Amino acid sequence: MTIEATLVDLACRLADTAGRIAMSHFGTALDAEKKADASPVTIADRQAEAAMREMIEAEVPDHGIFGEEYGQVRTDAQYVWVLDPIDGTKSFVIGKPLFGTLIALLRDGKPVIGIIDCSALNERWLGVDGRPSTHNGNTIATRTCENLEDAWMASTSPGMFTGGTEAAFAKLKAATRQTVWGGDCHSYGLLASGNLDLVAEAGMNPYDYLALVPVIEGAGGMITDWNGAALGLSSDGTVLAAGDAAMHKAAVKLLTG
């Protein structure tokens, strides 16, 4: 089943709207409140998600919504929008441009549209099921790197690995050539564009990872949980993205021990 052009257009307009709101606050003195999980949230996060939800309710009122700031409605619908208005709020608050809006559309639980929109960098990655992924309108592809010892890997923060994931990630980190910290969603865009080989993270929520799936898969890469299972609304929060299938298999083997 092909993806309707109107839905791709809506996804892009949602990203445009969220990006405009984010940039209207970026670089200003922001009050970052602390949520129950200790993560920060700003007026920009809330305004951007509220605006996107309003558009969805007006244009496709039968679709579900799963958002970071305002929760879930109709998540049993065939189509569900998954929204992260500002992924990388910590970067956003201090004026660092490595933040982005993440938008996914699920059909029957599978991500079929994904957008990584880094408005401060004027960069947008778009993935649509059955089509090649693009970066600012240009077709992209991941790069070949079969061996872990040659791989450049990114992760947002060492603090995201706790409990069993800490030891598993340490093994993967030791096996790779280089680990780069920071980047949030931007790192996955770089992987899709062929600039990076691996991204491994843990403690993630559906709005953190579902938009990444069509982008990376449409560029020829793989993205799953650490066990190699497909990502969905009920995944365990671990994410492993690789540009090369052989490397992904090797990384899964190492992470699962």
Going through the chain in order, the beta strands assigned E by DSSP cover 33-34, 40-41, 64-67, 71-73, 79-87, 100-107, 110-118, 123-128, 134-135, 138-139, 152-155, 178-181, 198-201, 222-224, 239-242
Q: Are 203 and 157 in contact (CB under 8 A)?
A: no
Please state, in angstroms and rounded to a whole number, the distance separating the CA atoms of residues 70 and 53.
Answer: 9
CATH code for the part of the protein at 5-139: 3.30.540.10
The pLDDT of residue 52: 98
The pLDDT of residue 144: 96
pLDDT in tens, the chain (257 residues): 678 999 999 999 999 999 999 999 999 988 888 888 878 899 999 999 999 999 999 999 999 999 999 999 999 999 999 999 999 999 999 999 999 999 999 999 999 999 999 999 999 999 999 999 999 999 999 999 989 999 999 999 999 999 889 999 999 999 999 999 999 999 999 999 999 999 999 999 999 999 999 999 999 999 999 999 999 999 999 999 999 999 999 999 999 98
Angular region, 255: left φ>0, alpha ψ -120 to 50, beta rest: alpha
The pLDDT of residue 243: 98
The pLDDT of residue 1: 63
Six-digit token string for 159:
């603090």
SS3 state of residue 232: coil
Report domain extents, the chain: 5-139, 148-256
The pLDDT of residue 133: 98
Alpha-carbon torsion, ordered 162, 169, 40, 44, to 10 deg? -150
CATH code for the part of the protein at 148-256: 3.40.190.80
Please state, in angstroms and rounded to a whole number, the distance separating the CA atoms of residues 130 and 127.
Answer: 9
